[in-house]
């Protein structure tokens, strides 16, 4: 037996419209608004050059960010990155721990293992000192990631 709501001819239209409206909000999947996040990975104040890699923003639960996703972005050979969340540009607002994993040239070759250019603490969520707050209107360079070798 169908419930009165399910038998209503307008129910499928209303629920379909609600689903479309929810998906249209920012990042999709009900995450909310995503804000543009792009910056540079800096090593001792200079852009990390000549290698690829990944940047991942991990929601900082200690600072109240309960977002269920980890926005990520690729590092280009000029040290720049741009985040996306579930295939959409940007990241939801809130505080994040930032994990940086650059891949030195030749690091995929078995016989040519090279040392990462930055200190290992930046490559792990539990040890990274990098914390960033994603906001609607950041200042210039707000999302630049300052790293060191040791």
Alpha helix positions (H), the chain: 4-7, 11-24
pLDDT given at position 20: 33
Alpha-carbon distance values, 46 to 43, 54, 79, 116, 144 (Å): 5, 18, 9, 16, 11
Tell me phi and psi for residue 88, to 5 degrees: -110, 145
Domains plus CATH for the chain? 34-147 (2.60.40)
Q: Is 94 helix (H, G, I), strand (E, B) or coil?
A: strand
Write out the E strands in the chain.
34-35, 38-43, 46-47, 52-59, 72-75, 80-82, 84-85, 88-89, 91-92, 94-103, 131-134, 145-147
Rg (CA), the chain: 20
The Cα–Cα gap between 33 and 27 comes to: 6
Q: What is the pLDDT along the chain (150 residues), one digit of tens a residue?
A: 444 444 434 433 333 333 333 333 456 567 889 999 999 999 999 999 888 899 999 999 999 999 999 999 999 999 999 999 999 999 999 999 999 999 876 655 555 556 778 999 999 999 999 999 999 999 999 999 999 987
In 3-state terms the chain splits into helix, strand, coil percentages (rounded to 5) of 15, 35, 50
Q: Is 110 helix (H, G, I), strand (E, B) or coil?
A: coil
């Amino acid at each position: 037996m169908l419930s009165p709501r399910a038998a209503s001819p307008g129910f499928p239209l209303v629920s379909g419209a609600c689903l479309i409206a929810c998906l249209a909000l920012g990042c999709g999947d009900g995450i909310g608004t995503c804000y543009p996040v792009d910056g540079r990975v800096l090593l001792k104040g200079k852009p990390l050059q000549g290698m690829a890699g990944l940047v991942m923003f991990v929601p900082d639960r200690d600072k109240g960010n309960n977002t269920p996703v980890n926005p990520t972005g690729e590092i280009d050979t000029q040290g720049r990155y741009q985040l996306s969340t579930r295939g959409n540009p940007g990241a939801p607002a809130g505080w994040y721990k930032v994990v940086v994993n650059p891949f030195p040239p030749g690091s995929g070759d078995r016989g040519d293992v090279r040392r990462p250019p930055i200190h290992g603490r930046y490559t792990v969520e539990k040890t990274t000192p990098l914390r960033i707050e994603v906001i609607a209107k950041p200042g210039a360079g707000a999302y630049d990631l300052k790293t060191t070798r040791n």
